[in-house]
């Protein structure tokens, strides 16, 4: 699979852009555990051109996490073009346009998946961004706005015609948000369209190594994008690659190693955001990271209530001691 000068010898695994999740500390870990292409958090075009410091900070990219795409969202074409030029100046590997975010405050303003209600504007915005930058431009979107407007097959071809170099499709409509099961049948229809020649990347419900292999084989996509399943478990990329390569499930890591990996994420996040904000940020990951451990509720509460790194480390030590003899199995 190729996107501009980026070339992947096998079907790549991509880390989905997620607000308040895919900051550099998390991206570096996902890269370490096998992700092939990272994306930043959503970057607001309006905030970027207004030079908002917190938004500009989202453009930070470190060498060890590359390749990285910067994902932009907005509903004003001129602002999106200007933002793309600013984003290009920090030398990402590509620019991605967010036509998929279903969050109400974004979609109701006509940005993200809200653009699915104005396809001509979507196409004009994409074409102008493609012409304004020298980097590859990609798009992430959904099947359509709702059940009655699943337009992805036609829109995919139109987006290709205005110059995008890869398309990621989440197998739900905006109306579905993240409910129900992702429908990959239309993703397959896009991939099987003989007029399509750009890479098609599938997204939605990939939460295990077995499912990753099944969907690659069943739907024929060029790559897989993984989002929510990586939260608290960035090594899911390692698990998937192991299974795709060997045909065998990777043994579950021991609890001691599990704790060490979460601690590594904690330290990197605190280094990036500071102790207070870093701990708040990490709670989302820690809340789900130890899912499956028996009798863990009280320790989870204590861990999530800790407001210092030292307090969290104390809980980590208790976890290691309590589960020293625990033997996880692949099915857990």
Domain ranges of the chain: 2-246, 255-322
pLDDT in tens, 198-229: 999 999 999 999 999 999 999 999 999 999 99
In the beta sheet, which residues pair with residue 142? 170
Alpha carbon of residue 87 to chain centroid: 18
Q: Is residue 328 predicted with pLDDT exceeding 80?
A: no
Q: Average pLDDT, stretch 57-74?
A: 96
pLDDT computed for residue 329 by the predictor = 62
DSSP notation for 1-28: -EETTEE-SS--EEEPP-TTT-SHHHHH
Look at residue 331 and tell me whether its pLDDT is greater than 50: no
Band the pLDDT of 332: cuts 50, 70, 90.
very low
pLDDT per position as a tens digit, 245-290: 999 999 999 999 999 999 999 999 999 999 999 999 999 999 999 9
Decide: 6 and 136 in contact? Cβ < 8 Å. yes
Please write the tens of the pLDDT for every residue from 144-181: 999 889 999 999 999 999 999 999 999 999 999 999 89
User: What confidence tens digit (pLDDT) does each residue in 99-126 have?
Assistant: 999 999 999 899 999 999 999 999 999 9
In the chain, the percentage of residues whose pLDDT exceeds 90 is 94
Question: Considering 3, 61, 94, 101, which one is annotated as catalytic?
Answer: 101
Q: How confident is the model at residue 77 (pLDDT cuts 50, 70, 90)?
A: very high
d(CA 21, CA 14): 14
Q: Which residue's structure tokens are 């970057």?
A: 43
Q: For 15, phi and psi rounded to 5 degrees?
A: -85, 120
Is the backbone of residue 7 left (phi > 0), alpha (psi -120 to 50) or beta?
beta
Q: What is the CATH number of domain 2-246?
A: 3.20.20.70
d(CA 274, CA 155): 43
pLDDT band at 327 (very low <50, low <70, confident <90, very high): confident
Residue 30 annotated to the active site: no
How far is the CA of 297 from the CAs of 20, 75, 269, 302, 303, in angstroms?
25, 43, 24, 9, 10
CB 70 within 8 A of CB 27: no
Domain 255-322 CATH class label: mainly alpha
Average pLDDT score over the chain: 95
């Amino acid at each position: 699979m190729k996107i501009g000068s980026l070339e992947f010898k096998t079907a790549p695994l991509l880390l989905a852009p997620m607000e308040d999740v895919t900051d550099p500390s998390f991206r570096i870990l996902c890269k370490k555990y096998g992700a092939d292409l990272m994306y930043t958090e959503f970057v607001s075009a309006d905030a970027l051109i207004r030079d908002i410091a917190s938004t500009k900070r989202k453009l930070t990219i470190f060498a060890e996490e590359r390749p990285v795409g910067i994902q932009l969202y907005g509903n004003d074409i001129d602002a999106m073009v200007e933002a793309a030029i600013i984003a290009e100046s920090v030398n990402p590997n590509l620019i991605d346009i967010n036509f998929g975010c279903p969050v109400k405050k974004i979609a109701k303003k006509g940005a993200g998946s809200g653009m699915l209600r104005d396809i001509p504007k979507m196409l004009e915005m994409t074409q102008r961004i493609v012409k304004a930058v020298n980097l590859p431009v990609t798009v992430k979107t959904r099947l359509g706005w709702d059940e009655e407007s699943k337009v992805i097959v036609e829109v995919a071809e139109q987006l290709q015609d205005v110059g995008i170099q890869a398309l990621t499709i989440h197998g739900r409509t905006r109306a579905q948000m993240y409910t129900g099961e992702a429908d990959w049948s239309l993703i397959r229809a896009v991939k099987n369209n003989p007029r399509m020649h750009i890479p098609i990347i599938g997204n939605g419900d990939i939460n295990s190594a077995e499912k990753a292999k099944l969907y690659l084989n069943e739907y024929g996509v060029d790559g897989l994008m993984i989002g929510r399943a990586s939260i608290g478990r960035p090594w899911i990329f390692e698990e998937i690659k192991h299974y795709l390569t060997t045909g065998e499930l990777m043994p579950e890591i021991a609890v001691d190693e599990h704790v060490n990996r979460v601690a590594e994420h904690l330290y990197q996040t605190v280094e990036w955001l500071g102790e207070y904000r870093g701990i708040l940020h990490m709670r989302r990951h820690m809340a789900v990271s130890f899912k499956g451990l028996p009798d863990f509720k009280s320790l989870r509460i204590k861990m999530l209530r800790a407001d210092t790194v030292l307090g969290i480390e104390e809980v980590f030590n208790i976890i290691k001691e309590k589960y020293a003899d625990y033997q996880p199995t692949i099915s857990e």
